[in-house]
Structure 1
Amino acid sequence: MDEILKTIPHRPPFLFLDEIVEVREDGATCKRTIRSDEPQFEGHYPGNPIMPGVLLCEACFQAGAIYLAKQIEKEGRSLNDVTPVLSRIGEAKFKQMVKPGDEITIEVTMKETVSKFHFMKGKVLKEGKPALVIEFALAMLEE
């Protein structure tokens, strides 16, 4: 968790990654265990908690930010000077529900960079099978 907190500006309760598994040349893999005491389950849905799809999307965006931040670090630049900002969401497909107790793997892959926009593909896996597939773009904005 410390490595995540050093790498991206997100903080609980809006941090949806527990662990960086690996950062590759073309992307990153992270993990998260969904906990029943998370605040979104108070309303989504009482007695039948389901992880909101938008928060699964956010986990992908955060994993993408981890990947981009690690690229910035490789260049010797300071992470204090940039903020990851979502600039586009492409087609998102939800394939299965995620519930408290599930461990998910979040994988992102870099597609291309156009100017300051980084186009990526993401997927959330539950038990090795897709729960979400999405395309998105992030910009790393300098303050």
Structure 2
Amino acid sequence: MNQTEIIKNLPYQEPFLFVDLLTEVSENGVTGNYRFKEDAFFYEGHFKGNPITPGVILTETMAQIGVVCLGIYLLKNEILTTDKNPQIALTSNQVDFYLPVLPNEKVTVISEKQYFRFNKLKCAVKMINEKNELVCRGTISGMIIAE
């Protein structure tokens, strides 16, 4: 399964799809990018005259790239051979934030698998900006099955 097929199998669509490109995918982790569009719905009220990407959206971006894309890759044999759709549920997250992300800013998410067993995937995930500065990092876990 290649990067395009992984993105195609994501259970998200605009305006809630936060994956543009996957640059690396393996059994041990994933790296991908997303550019936050200036006209994204959440900038209208966060904050007046000084739009900043909400932390919950940064966490969602890290989860989509770092956990869901990796989970789809890990379940690729089931998905490709049975035509089953991946079902995902976030189970926990702990994220520390260091820098803001502004409209039109491109971020890179780097995820390393900590474990995948009994359909639970736990990853150490970090986000960096175009200046290679750490934006946020933490651990995100989710349940993923092909159904």
Query: Above 0.5 in TM-score?
Result: yes
Please give the root-mean-square deviation of Cα atoms over the aligned residues, in Å.
Answer: 1.9
Amino acid in the other structure paired with 1:25: E
- The answer for unaligned runs of 5 or more in structure 2 is none
> 1:25 aligns to what?
27
Q: 2:128 aligns with which of 122, 125, 135?
A: 125
How far did 1:4 drift?
5.2
- Rate the CA distance shift 1:79–1:32 in 2: closer, same or farther, 3 A: farther
Q: 1:46 aligns with which of 44, 48, 57?
A: 48
How far did 1:78 drift?
4.2
1:95-134 aligned within 5 A: 95-126=98-129, 127-134=131-138
How far did 1:40 drift?
0.2
Relative to the length of structure 1, the TM-score reads 0.89
8 A contact 1:85–1:139 mirrored in 2: yes
- Rate the CA distance shift 1:114–1:4 in 2: closer, same or farther, 3 A: closer
Q: 2:9 aligns with which of 7, 10, 18?
A: 7
What is the rounded CA distance, in whole Å, between the counterparts of 1:131 and 1:3 in structure 2?
28
After the TM superposition, which segments of 4 or more aligned residues of structure 1 sit over 6 Å from their partners?
A: none
Count of matched residue pairs: 142
What is the rounded CA distance, in whole Å, between the counterparts of 2:28 and 2:83 in structure 1?
19
How far did 1:66 drift?
0.7
What is the rounded CA distance, in whole Å, between the counterparts of 2:85 and 2:46 in structure 1?
36
